[in-house]
Amino acid sequence: MRLSEVTHPNQLHGLTISQLESIAKEIRQKHLETIAATGGHLGPGLGVVELTLSLYQTLDLDRDKVVWDVGHQAYPHKLITGRYKNFHTLRQKDGIAGYLNRRESEFDHFGAGHASTSISAALGMAIARDLQGDNYKTVAIIGDGSLTGGMALEAINHAGHLPKTNLLVVLNDNEMSISPNVGAIPKYLNKMRLSPPMKFITNNLEGQIRNIPFVGEQISPEIERIKDNLKIVTMVQNKVGAVFEELGFTYIGPVDGHNLKELIDTFKMAHTLTGPVMVHVSTTKGKGYSYAEADRVGYHAQNSFDLATGKAKPSTSSKPKPPSYSKVFADTLIKLAEHDKRIVAITAAMSTGTGLDKFQAALPNQFIDVGIAEQHAITVAAGMACEGMRPVAAIYSTFLQRGFDQIIHDVCIQNLPVFFCLDRAGIVGADGPTHQGMYDIAYLRCIPNMVLMAPKDEAEMQNMIATGLTHNGPIAMRYPRGNGVGAPLQDEDLEPLPIGKAEVLREGKDILLLAYGSMVYPSLQVAELLNEHGISATVVNARFAKPLDTELILPLAQKIGKVVTLEEGCLMGGFGSAVLEALNDANVMAPVYRIGVPDILVEHASPEQSFNSLGMSSGQICDHILNQFAFNRQPAISS
């Protein structure tokens, strides 16, 4: 059977090891060819090909439920669940999603994008199954990196208290999340991974049986069966897994994650056990592609690349790109931290994505990676702030949501000087709704003591970093994914900005454009387009969403009489809402038109496609304004 013929995972039933190995080879080839062309997650999926095939051969996917943690390692799952023919559209607009999506396939039993949720979801399904009197199997597949997340440990604690609830947890242990794992749990798993009890015992057994006079040769054909059975028993009895046993799980492993026969035998046996079972599978991230195996961090995810060399495809533009916001953030923070030992950079398993891997290399004693544990990261920062340190918590906008209670309870109520740096704020593109940074303005703006700011460009970002490190209270800076606009960077003497003060970038009499962060430069483009219709616009770089510069904004709104707000985030509760509230509280009766993301999920697409779909390109915004305020479309009068 060929991979292209597999449209339902139950077609794997009855296939020989040789046939499965052939399909595994095809999966890796299709996976590599697709990511090389479109970009996407590479190493995670390559590492779980055999795990996926062997597990699915032991399940009935018309009934049984499988929950993949995060989902970026589930590309092999997608390829054998009816999406082979459309796999070339991966992470493209209207194509196959990069993560699991219940709307995309009946086999995506639970959507995900954030780590450590799978055991909780699978346990919920198992409890529902038992309450409804059904008997299907439920399986959670979780990586060792995700096991560092508190939610996974909470789920293990709960499941271990339910000895009659059948649940299989497959621990995919590749020693990595995006970067190498940190903490005591990965260290313990490494000890387990290196434990060799079953190979030693089974190989000794074979030698001893073969040496029995007259008996050894006769029993020889049975040796493999005896070895397999004893191997499973030995894995169950492996007391290196005693911690999981004490938590109420039957522990089996470690199992070679690329040995199909061993995996199938193990999963079959695990399905016969009662209560929660953990099968510990040791895999190699990037398996089958030498470049990915050698560089497991760099090939976690890739833009389009040359499959033969493993190198990124050259840019079609001859013009050099400005540095990314993440790079400017890291470089600036390093310069400031070199002169202030109170500054400590904190990340939650995202040192590479946030740019802090460079900070770690330069100032290792001022760097902390807590693992996939945003809640813990925030409260650690709060504790450090109590003792006079200046903690900088660099966390993606979408991941900071996970620590909302800690932001309120541990930081803001105590008015502690923790500096939150929100990378990937706004539209992020192909990762889709689980990773869009849509909500941080709304969910942070409502918290007392919190200050919110966003730079218009990479140079202003440098000033805002200095501002965040000198402010005596909670403060957050959001900035977008990708490259800056090309603003000249400052080498030294970074001046903090006055809190809550905006700046006027352009003056006009017909309409007031109030822009926040990444929408400032587009608003200047809109002003130019409006000018072509004879409409002059005042453009304000708000800088701060909280506190607003009401001393500047209110008189301008009163004078000009027409206001447009522009933000790269959700409209509900966002920057535009803040402006509306301020005008209402001051009894300024100017009409306000808000540009931003409405109450919808932004699906995977390129950022440009997403902006166009939302009507947020500069040309579209100009048209919206002309229609909203019924301006007459006329050419500008030349002076």
Say how far apart CA 2 and CA 25 lie, in whole Å: 10
Say how far apart CA 604 and CA 425 lie, in whole Å: 15
The yes-or-no answer on residue 137 being catalytic is no
What is the chain's Cα-based Rg? Answer: 28
> H or E segment at 399?
helix 397-400
The yes-or-no answer on residue 374 being catalytic is yes
The yes-or-no answer on residue 338 being catalytic is no
Amino acid letter at 284? T
488 token code pair:
């000249």
DSSP 91: T
Say how far apart CA 182 and CA 149 lie, in whole Å: 11
Q: What residues contact residue 156 under an 8 Å CB cut-off, 6+ apart?
A: 119, 169, 244, 247, 249
Residues 303, 305, 306, CA angle at the centre, nearest 5°? 175
Q: Please, what is the end-to-end C-alpha distance for the chain in angstroms?
A: 75
Alpha-helical (H) ranges within 407-457 are 440-445
**Measured between alpha carbons, how far is residue 89 from residues 44, 96, 429, 430, 546 in Å?**
19, 6, 14, 11, 41
3-state secondary structure of 431: coil
30, 390, 402, 481: the active-site residue: 402
285, 296, 543, 594: the active-site residue: 285
| Closest among 388, 381, 437, 441 to 412, alpha carbons compared | 381
26, 374, 458, 567: the active-site residue: 374
Say how far apart CA 614 and CA 608 lie, in whole Å: 10
Q: What residues contact residue 185 under an 8 Å CB cut-off, 6+ apart?
A: 144, 147, 148, 371
Residues with a known catalytic role: 285, 374, 402
